[in-house]
Amino acid sequence: QQQVKQSPQSLIVQKGGISIINCAYENTAFDYFPWYQQFPGKGPALLIAIRPDVSEKKEGRFTISFNKSAKQFSLHIMDSQPGDSATYFCAASKGGSYIPTFGRGTSLIVHP
Amino acid sequence: SQTIHQWPATLVQPVGSPLSLECTVEGTSNPNLYWYRQAAGRGLQLLFYSVGIGQISSEVPQNLSASRPQDRQFILSSKKLLLSDSGFYLCAWNTGSADEQYFGPGTRLTVT
């Protein structure tokens, strides 16, 4: 199956806290796992991405953790800021397919 | 650098009227092009994608159609809009499979 399950649907975090969003997939052929950030009224933008040859990738306050055996990957936002308030989408795709599979999105609110 | 444009930014149309949304990409050749729809507070629904001029793949049967008259131009059309066509329409591009997508600013369509 092509499904990617994302949780939670919504998340409220205090400023300075850690935000964690999880995604699980079924298709073991997936080999590219990006996260997108979308602000209200804007198009999504690539935030960070990982390929299955590594278990973790960090860019500033954003980290992807990847567990190939469990078929799960997660986004961690350290020291969350009100400016991080947005909708986050995970996605998965595989070589040879032009159709990415997106999670349903997580609405993150960071309270000041 | 590459840029993606969408217009119009917002559109209010009566039920039964035609629709034409345009997307153009600058700074790249032979991109893969995508149309997504996002209902309020919901995820991304892939409508169409194209890997070349005149090549259109439809993911969801409905009263919408897409065309790619030029390499970097993607058009979404409808002959008669339905209330259910309301949403946020996003165009996106990339250069290969299993690759990040770059989204446009979107068109907010309200069908009244």
The string of pLDDT tens digits covering residues A69-111 is 999 999 999 999 999 999 999 999 987 777 889 999 999 999 9
Helix (H, G, I), strand (E, B) or coil at A16: coil
Rounded distance between C-alpha atoms, residue B107 and residue B27, angstroms? 21
Nearest to B101 among A41, A100, A105 (CB): A100
Distances (CA, A) of A94 to B43, B47, B52: 20, 19, 19
Give which of A98, A101, A104 to mutate to test B binding, by max B Cβ within 10 Å: A98
pLDDT tier, B99 (very low <50, low <70, confident <90, very high otherwise): confident
- Minimal-distance CA residue of chain B relative to A98: B97
pLDDT of residue B61: 64
Q: Do A102 and B44 touch (CB under 8 A)?
A: yes
Cβ atoms of residues A38 and A87 within 8 Å: yes
- Minimal-distance CA residue of chain B relative to A103: B43
Rounded distance between C-alpha atoms, residue A37 and residue A85, angstroms? 9
